[in-house]
Chain A
Amino acid sequence: MANYLLIDFGSTFTKLCAVNTEECEILGTASDFTTVETDINDGYDKALEKLYKKIDRNIKFEQVIACSSAAGGLKMAAIGLVKELTVEAAKRVCLGAGAKVDLVFSHHLNQSEVHQIIDKKIDIILLAGGSDGGNSESVIYNAEILGKLGVKIPIVFAGNKSAQDQINEIFGKYEMNGYICDNVMPNINVLNVNSAREKIREIFLKQIIEAKGIKKIENFINQVILPTPSAVLEAAKLLAEGYLDEEGLGEVVVVDIGGATTDMYSICSSTKRSDVIIQGLEEPFAKRTVEGDLGMRYSAPGIVKSLSEREINFINKEKGVDIVSEVTKRYDNVKLLPENSQDEFIDQFLAEMCAYRSMHRHCGRINEVLTPMGKVFNQVGKDLSDVGFVIGTGGVIINSKYQKEILKQTTNILHNPSELRPSDPKFLIDYDYIMAAMGLLSKINPMAALKIMKKHIRPIRGVQHETSK
């Protein structure tokens, strides 16, 4: 019997998903609070108990595998040389590996920046800078100062190839925990994510899991293999691209609104048009962005911060609320669950804002340049206009009464021609909250993971009210 138990140790909830890969069916799902502060097994055991109430207790699992974003997730510092180039490349690699990028630095590090790395309990440092054969002075300086100030956490060097030997020497000299990878930007504007991303995943697996207190559970679990966002990215990619003769959905966008962050994933090429000139650093086909200032609870103040005084007054008057105090209330009590229609209304509003603003930052921009032969277009970032599906996942969207209103915020509702948002996508919901689990399953049995997703990620149910007002 091909039964698998897939676990997501989330920041708040531990989610279990039992599947049968022969029938391509979900046997059951269950969840409980993540208890990483005490003993991670407590929450896991409770969730498992709930699961056994739904499925046969005698079911044997061939493998039990997990992803995790517990204990703050994978916290990384991205270091590069120039902000728009290697700093951005390093950031994208971290995000693609499923990390939270807590610190971003450019040019020479100073002492206070190194101390921030230590104080913020960063898990892994990605050190980039210089194209191959280009600037090596900066990465050498930075490796040296990290060594001198006694930084012992894993450092992935993915900068100028010509500096590798010297970097290796510095790693040796200060007995640092260093790894050498291919350059994240070997040539100007060329992005190379694979080597560094795989190294980050490998370190996560070998060192970080244990440090986060998740190792304790390994008796039951064969492996914790990925950071959760990385599992979601894998799932989104599989769902978009398909597997062998099982077709995928084509280009997709996935939105996940949480308490502290809003994650946006797009699986598509930068453009399909021949009349545009693309500028800037190459975009990854599978791209993830995370907005640390856009979330429903912990990061709710960030939503208001992005509004002008006038907008705040307008919202307060229009909706008859005091948005600033509502947001503070949510920040002060991150476990708040909506109790009345007013709470629900505010949560809906915040979710819509998260979706709107995170897409604003995720999508590309386009400008016209006029010539006698007609218009030429200048594009920065990814063109999502033709994306066929926008998929909502995460508790906030799954539990909303007005899912469509949230997902609609990712489209061009304000008719801004320069923003390359999805123009006419279909909306799907990850009702059973399985995307992370399917990302895990895709590592063992991609066909089953794809079939299960196609079955369970479905259009918005029934007639949804057009508006929440």
Chain B
Amino acid sequence: MCYKNAYKIWRDSLKTIVIGVIGADVHAVGNKIIEYTLTKSGYNVVNIGVLSSQEDFINAAIETNADMIMVSSLYGHGEIDCRGMRDKCIESGIEDILLYVGGNIVVGKQDFSEVKERFLEMGFNRIYPPGTSIDQALKDIKQDLGE
């Protein structure tokens, strides 16, 4: 009983991150690497996989009481797929959840500072340019989740 309780307290104390690949995007490899890296770094990772809609992310975040949603978009349509996501979070009662996005979120070589600006306006907390690996983002995650 005591052991079970200890496990429960430990498990409940982990921060929960919902990850997945948004829209009609099937790039599956990076998603697996993110799951592996975050789990190893001590997070409770809820991976909803590829081809996930905004609602899939939000629903999973509600049920798991998640602290962060980390959206991947690799195929270039990230901006369209992410539009309105923060509003839906607000409607769903998880207005304070952290929203991260990364991968190859827009097509081609656009000026990333502009892209970032647009995503900030859409209510995302952290926006990563192409080529940013998940390891590079770990520092931000730690900081934002208050550890």
B-binding residues in A (CB < 8 A): 81-82, 84-86, 129-131, 133-137, 161-162, 185, 187-189, 277, 279, 369, 371, 376, 378
Interface residues of B in 58-79 (CB under 8 A from A): 59-60, 62-66
Residues of A near B60 (CB, < 8 A) are 85, 188
As a 0/1 sequence over residues 1 to 44 of chain B, the CB contacts with chain A under 8 angstroms (1 = contact) are 00000001001101010100000101000000000000000001
When the two chains form the complex, which single residue of B44, B48, B62, B66 contacts A189, counting CB atoms closer than 8 Å?
B48
Number of A-B contacts (CB under 8 A): 63
> Is B56 among interface residues, defined by CB-CB distance under 8 A?
yes
Q: Which of A137, A185, A187 has the most CB of B within 10 A?
A: A187
Instruction: Tell me, rounded to whole Å, the shortest Cβ–Cβ distance linking B78 to chain A.
Output: 16
Instruction: Tell me, rounded to whole Å, the shortest Cβ–Cβ distance linking B106 to chain A.
Output: 19
Residues of A near B59 (CB, < 8 A) are 82, 84-85
Residues of A near B48 (CB, < 8 A) are 188-189
B11–A130 CB distance below 8 A: no
Instruction: Tell me, rounded to whole Å, the shortest Cβ–Cβ distance linking A271 to chain B.
Output: 15
A-binding residues in B (CB < 8 A): 8, 11-12, 14, 16, 18, 24, 26, 44, 46, 48-52, 55-56, 59-60, 62-66
CB-nearest residue of chain A to B55: A84
Residues of A near B65 (CB, < 8 A) are 130, 133-137
Given A369-B24, A369-B51, 4 other A-B residues pairs in contact with their CB atoms under 8 A? A81-B62, A133-B44, A162-B8, A162-B11
A277–B63 CB distance below 8 A: no
B44–A185 CB distance below 8 A: no
Residues of B near A85 (CB, < 8 A) are 59-60, 63
Residues of B near A133 (CB, < 8 A) are 11-12, 14, 16, 44, 64-65
Q: With A82-B63, A279-B51 as known contacts, state yes or no: A188 contacts B24, CB within 8 Å.
A: no
When the two chains form the complex, which single residue of B24, B50, B63 contacts A134, counting CB atoms closer than 8 Å?
B63
CB-nearest residue of chain B to A134: B64
Residues of B near A81 (CB, < 8 A) are 62-63
Instruction: Tell me, rounded to whole Å, the shortest Cβ–Cβ distance linking A239 to chain B.
Output: 34
Q: Whole-angstrom distance between the alpha carbons of A116 and B55 in the complex?
A: 29
Residues of B near A86 (CB, < 8 A) are 63
Q: With A133-B12, A279-B56, A376-B26 as known contacts, state yes or no: A185 contacts B51, CB within 8 Å.
A: no
Q: Whole-angstrom distance between the alpha carbons of A130 and B63 in the complex?
A: 4
Q: Whole-angstrom distance between the alpha carbons of A116 and B56 in the complex?
A: 30
Residues of B near A378 (CB, < 8 A) are 24, 51
Q: Which of B8, B14, B26, B65 has the most CB of A within 10 A?
A: B65
When the two chains form the complex, which single residue of B24, B49, B63 contacts A131, counting CB atoms closer than 8 Å?
B63
Q: Whole-angstrom distance between the alpha carbons of A130 and B62 in the complex?
A: 8
Instruction: Tell me, rounded to whole Å, the shortest Cβ–Cβ distance linking A164 to chain B.
Output: 10
When the two chains form the complex, which single residue of A84, A135, A279, A371 contacts B64, counting CB atoms closer than 8 Å?
A135
Q: Whole-angstrom distance between the alpha carbons of A130 and B50 in the complex?
A: 22
Q: Whole-angstrom distance between the alpha carbons of A130 and B46 in the complex?
A: 13
Q: With A185-B63, A188-B60, A188-B64 as known contacts, state yes or no: A277 contacts B50, CB within 8 Å.
A: yes
Residues of A near B16 (CB, < 8 A) are 133-134
Instruction: Tell me, rounded to whole Å, the shortest Cβ–Cβ distance linking A160 to chain B.
Output: 9
Q: Whole-angstrom distance between the alpha carbons of A378 and B51 in the complex?
A: 8
Residues of A near B46 (CB, < 8 A) are 131, 187-188
Q: Whole-angstrom distance between the alpha carbons of A102 and B113 in the complex?
A: 53
A277–B11 CB distance below 8 A: no
CB-nearest residue of chain A to B60: A188
Q: Whole-angstrom distance between the alpha carbons of A309 and B16 in the complex?
A: 49
